[in-house]
Amino acid sequence: MARVKFNFEDKNISTVVVENVEAGESILDVAEDNDVHLNHNCGGVCACSTCHVYVEAGEDYLEEISDKEEDFIDRAINPRLESRLGCQCIILEDDADVEITIPDQSRIIGHEH
């Protein structure tokens, strides 16, 4: 089973490590299933940029970025080369080891949970 480590720009939030993640799940799904706060105003259909994350390690274990996703990343707050949308980061292998940093969510207006 895959492993996903969630780090946070907001240093008041502790790192979360999720084990036993199945291939085929998105980073957004993993976050939601494990009470990790990650905004997603569009409901996870690649129609906004609120689930923006930074992939720190394990990029090769994730589905390749699409042109549509790249367009929305350009609208995200502080995009970087390692930026992705959590809803589009599908884990491809059961032995994946992925490390994500979630940007500060306090500047995003919209869906809070």
- pTM value? 0.92
According to the model, what pLDDT value does residue 107 have?
72
Residue-range domains of the chain with CATH: 2-107 (3.10.20.30)
Residue 79: how many CA atoms within 13 Å on its side-chain side? 16
What's the gap between Cα 17 and its chain centre?
13
Q: Which helix (H) or strand (E) holds 102?
A: strand 97-102
With beta carbons less than 8 A apart as the criterion, state whether 93 and 63 touch. no
pLDDT of the residue at 16: 98
Give the pLDDT score at 111. 44
Print pLDDT tens along the chain (113 aa).
Answer: 999 999 999 999 999 999 999 999 999 999 999 999 999 999 899 999 999 999 999 999 999 999 999 999 999 999 999 999 999 999 999 999 999 999 998 876 654 54
